[in-house]
Amino acid sequence: MTTRHYITIGFFLTLLSCQTADNKGEQKHSPLNEEILIIGDIDTTKVISQLAIKESGSDLSNEKIDNLADNLDTLELTCYFGFCDCQRWLISEIHNRALTENADLDELDLRGQTEFNLVKHGYYIEAANKELEIDWRSEVNWTTICFIGREYIDKRLPKDGEFTVPDPPKGKVFRYYSYQILRPYQIWGPHKLTEIDKETGDSIKEPTILTVK
């Protein structure tokens, strides 16, 4: 009888654990992602329906906050994880322009990342309230969201931002009151067990990335 060995991909699991941790160090519940292990083909339509991603939200406000611009603005930003505690949202036009030059731009590959001018083109985002927070499962490279909000005049860090280093870089912060995830977009799906060596039975357990069309 062949003994099956399970190899965990540390990077992917670390990435997911960072995304699910809130500012109190607790874990947000996402049982479909964390507890279900799929072997074989995925019923993409069914899984996406079960995940029930909230694609939009709105709570326009006339709040007055120091150093917050007076006028509302609309930004179309694309998620891009560059393996650093830094701005993860890029002006979509800049991202799309780079994508025409590098088709593998959004692959989760440490060797192939494009360095963007985050000071100029990158943003942190800050929800005006908890109900408007973006579902972490939609924070995948290439997912683009249209935000309506106000930009802080000074460089800073977002309130309740999640960082793994003690001194992350300050940058432009966009405080939003409305958002709409633009289709198609990608989401983190449940974990899948994939065999990589038929002779030894070695397998890897990794999260899936699903496309919502």
Beta-bridge mates of residue 38: 192
The alpha carbon of residue 51 and the mean position of all alpha carbons in its chain are separated, in whole angstroms, by: 15
Predicted TM-score (pTM) above 0.85: no
Query: Cβ neighbours of residue 53 under 8 Å, at least 6 residues apart?
Result: 135, 137, 138, 181, 187, 212
CA-based end-to-end distance of the chain: 43
- In whole angstroms, how far apart are CA 120 and each of 19, 74, 93, 172, 179? 25, 17, 13, 8, 22
For residue 24, the model assigns a pLDDT of 35
Q: Per DSSP, what are the bridge partners of residue 185?
A: 212
pLDDT for res 21? 38
Is the pLDDT reported for residue 142 higher than 80? yes
CB 127 within 8 A of CB 164: no
Q: Residues 47-77: pLDDT tens digits?
A: 899 889 999 999 988 899 999 999 999 999 9
Per-residue pLDDT tens over the stretch 103-131: 878 886 655 566 788 899 999 999 999 99
Reply yes or no on whether the pLDDT at 3 is more than 50.
Answer: no
